Each structure stands twice: as C-alpha cells, then as structure tokens.
Structure 1
Amino acid sequence: MSTTPASGRDLSLALERVVRMVREVSTAGDISPTSATVLGVLARAGAQRVTDLARIAGVSQPAMTQLVNRLTQQGMLARVADDADRRAVLVEITDTGREVIEARRGQRAGALDAALARVSAEDRAAIAAALPALDRLVDAVLDS
C-alpha cells in the first residue's frame, strides 16, 4: 500500500471519474444533472429560494426559474410562502420529487454494490475506511 499523500490533483481526477459514473448510472426520472442537484439539495436542506438554488447549481436565476417551472409542472417541486418573509416564495420538493431522488440513489447503490463485489476485500476495506475522511473533506470545502 502506498504511503504517498494524496494530492489535490490525484483526488480531483478520481472524483471526476466517480461523478461521471454516478451520472451515467442515475437515470430514474429522466432528469438532468442540474435537476437532480436541485432535488437533492431540497431533499437535504429543505425549502430554498430560487436565487439560492441558482447559486448552488451554478446557473443563472432565469435558467433556474425555468427549471423550477418545469419540475413544478412535472409534480416534483412546489412553491410555498416564506414564513420569514411573506413577500418571498420558496421552492420545496414534493413526494414525487423524493421518489425520483430515492430511485436515483437506489440505481447508484445497485451499481456500486455490483462494482464492489468485483473488487478485492482489501479494496472494499480501504474504500470503507476512506469514507469518513471524504465526508470531512467535503465539509472542509463546503464550509470554507
């Protein structure tokens, strides 16, 4: 086993491949990666303003408004009043949206379970051991 510390470049390349794999195996709901990001954020964090969703997803506010309109028409999102500011509107995920997110997670879990079954027990143990550190790394990046 290598004792060379991971570099940002090495980690970036590995994570790019992981993200590509996740996108390729996540097809439930026939939605775009940006739509999946929005549904995931709303499922985890609760109702958000369109401007905040646009910032998180890295798209313009008009583009996010169009996406929210489309997902609302498909029954995956709903607009609700903001209790803190009655003039504002929040977007929240619906049960239909949650079902799509859960189906996508199930697809990813199935693909990863199948892949894990094809790698050595040593690799599975190394991957399991790395998960807490990866969570802390993500927190360090997102909290900065």
Structure 2
Amino acid sequence: MASAEDSVVNLLVTAGRLTRLARVISSDDLPRAVMRALAVLEEHGAVRVSEFARIDRCSQPAATALIGRVVADGYASRRKDPEDSRAVVVELTPAGRDRLHRARRAFGTALATRLSKFDADRLARMETDLNELLDALKSTAPQHYPTSR
C-alpha cells in the first residue's frame, strides 16, 4: 500500500498531466504563464508584485514583466497599496476573470467530450474529494501560503 506522501505525489503528477493534456487538446490559446497569473490573482486577490512573485515562485523581474502583460491586456489593474503609498497592488479585472473562466471552460469541454463513457457521478465525487483535500491543506497554511521555500 502506498504511503500518504506517495499518494499525494501521485495526485500532483496526475493533476499536472491533466492540465497539460487539456492545454494540448483545447482550442484555447491563452498562454500558460498568463493563465497561471490570472489564476493566482483570482485565488489570492489583490497582491503586491513581490507577493505575486513569491506565490508563483518566479523572480521579481519575471513577475513584473508578466504582470505588465496582463495589465496591458486589461486582465488586471494596478492601484496604490492602501497600507503603503509607495507600493502598488495588482488585482484581477472583470475582463481577466472572464478570460480565465473561458480558458478553463475550454479545457473542461476538451476533456469532458472525451469522457462520454466515464460516470458523471464518479467525476462529481472526485471533484468533491479534491476540493476537500485542498480545503484541508489550505486550513493549515498561513494567508497566501507559507513563506518558506
């Protein structure tokens, strides 16, 4: 029997493979980095660029460039940080939320059309289980996840 750690590793590997497969077979052309940035902003809300870089595990210059791109595309906006007028925070715009939703929907459609013989109730149970797993993990992490690397 696999250990809990082995099972979690296998879940992570499988989730990554599902995402890559969806990307390959989906008709959506949103670049991976942009989709990842929009997903971070959706999940974490308004964040400073340095916090975005930490969450995304990229360099500050890479985060600045990526945020610049999503702001230029109208998917995010910058505003003064209410806690520090020298800093800015970045947040998702309604257009960014819509674009992320459309990309996710295209991924879901691409995968779902290939699962016609797969039990819908089983998929619903898997979704519930994964959400419960995520909630359990988030409940033990500080805001915006741990700061250690």
Superposition TM-score tier, normalisation by shorter sequence = 0.7 to 0.9
Could you say which residue in structure 2 is the equivalent of 1:23?
23
CA distance in 2, matches of 1:126, 1:141: 23
Structure 1 spans left out of the alignment, 5+ residues: none
The one-letter code matched in structure 1 to 2:18 is V
CA distance in 2, matches of 1:111, 1:127: 15
- Return the offset for 1:26: 5.2
Could you say which residue in structure 2 is the equivalent of 1:127?
123
- Return the offset for 1:105: 1.8
Inter-CA distance 112–82: structure 2 relative to 1 (3 Å threshold): same
CA distance in 2, matches of 1:27, 1:53: 28
| CA distances 1:26-48 after superposition (whole Å, capped 9, x unpaired) | 564x4432221111222233211
Could you say which residue in structure 2 is the equivalent of 1:136?
132
- Return the offset for 1:59: 0.7
- Return the offset for 1:101: 0.8
Taking every aligned residue pair, what percent have the same amino acid on both sides? 33
Could you say which residue in structure 1 is the equivalent of 2:72?
73
Give the alignment of 1:20-59 within 5 angstroms.
20-25=20-25, 28=28, 30-59=29-58
CA distance in 2, matches of 1:36, 1:101: 6
| Paired residues of 1:80 and 1:91 also in contact (CA < 8 A) | yes
CA distance in 2, matches of 1:103, 1:96: 10
| CA distances 1:52-87 after superposition (whole Å, capped 9, x unpaired) | 111111110111001111222222221111122222
Structure 2 spans left out of the alignment, 5+ residues: 142-149
The one-letter code matched in structure 2 to 1:138 is L
The one-letter code matched in structure 2 to 1:120 is F
